Amino acid sequence: MVEFRLPKQAKLVKTDDFSSVFNLRKRIANKHLVMRYRPSDNKGARLGLIVAKKTAKLAVQRNYMRRVLRELFRLNQHQLPAVDLVIQVQKVFTKPDFLEIKQAFESLCKKL
């Protein structure tokens, strides 16, 4: 039985966590997303999200994008290696773009 839960331990919380990922400067990207990552000693992958106010002005849009990306991470976390992952949104996407975003996320995950 595979667990798909996403407890608090699987999230990047501290400012130090984020800045250490940024300092490693490992970066892959496509049209929608930018992923920065850093191998870690923990058991599973950990996630941090960055959705800037600049990319989407409305809070509703930002919340949707955050939730979709968190959901995708949750469902795919066992295929991922043990890394600290920071996903940055480049471009606004809404409900009709879901499949496109899913493909973008999966293709980036394969490159990890």
Partner RNA sequence: GAAGCUAGCUAGACAGUCGCCGUCACACUUUGCUUGCCAGUUUUCUGGCAUAGCAAAUUGGGGAAGACCCUUGCGGUCUCCUUAUGUGAGGGAGGAAAGUCCGGGCUGCACAGAGCGAGAUGACGGCUAACGGCCGUACGCAGCAACUUUUAGUUGUAAAACUAAAGGCCAAGGCGAGGAAUAGGGCCACAGAGACGAGUCGGUUCGACCUGUGAGCACGCUUUUUAGCGAGCUUGCGUCGAAACGGGUGAAACGCGGUAACCUCCAUCUGCAGCAAGACCAAAUAGGCUGGCAAUAGGCGUGGCUCGCGCUGUCAGCGGGUAGGUUGCUUGAGCGCAUGAGUAAUUGUGCGCCUAGAUGAAUGACUGUUACGUGUAGCAAUGCACGACAGAACCCGGCUUAUCGGCUAGCUUCACUC
Q: Which residues here bind RNA, judged by CB under 7 A?
A: 3-8, 11-15, 18-19, 48-50, 58-60, 63-64, 66-68, 71, 74-75, 86, 95-96, 98
Q: Which is nearer to RNA, 15 or 23 (CB)?
A: 15
Q: What are phi and psi of 56, to 5 degrees?
A: -140, 125
Quickly list DSSP for 10-46: GB--SHHHHHHHHHH--EEE-SSEEEEEEE-SSSS-E
As measured in angstroms, the least distance from the Cβ of 2 to RNA is 8
* Alpha-carbon gap, residue 17 to 23, rounded angstroms: 10
As measured in angstroms, the least distance from the Cβ of 47 to RNA is 8
Q: Which is nearer to RNA, 31 or 53 (CB)?
A: 53
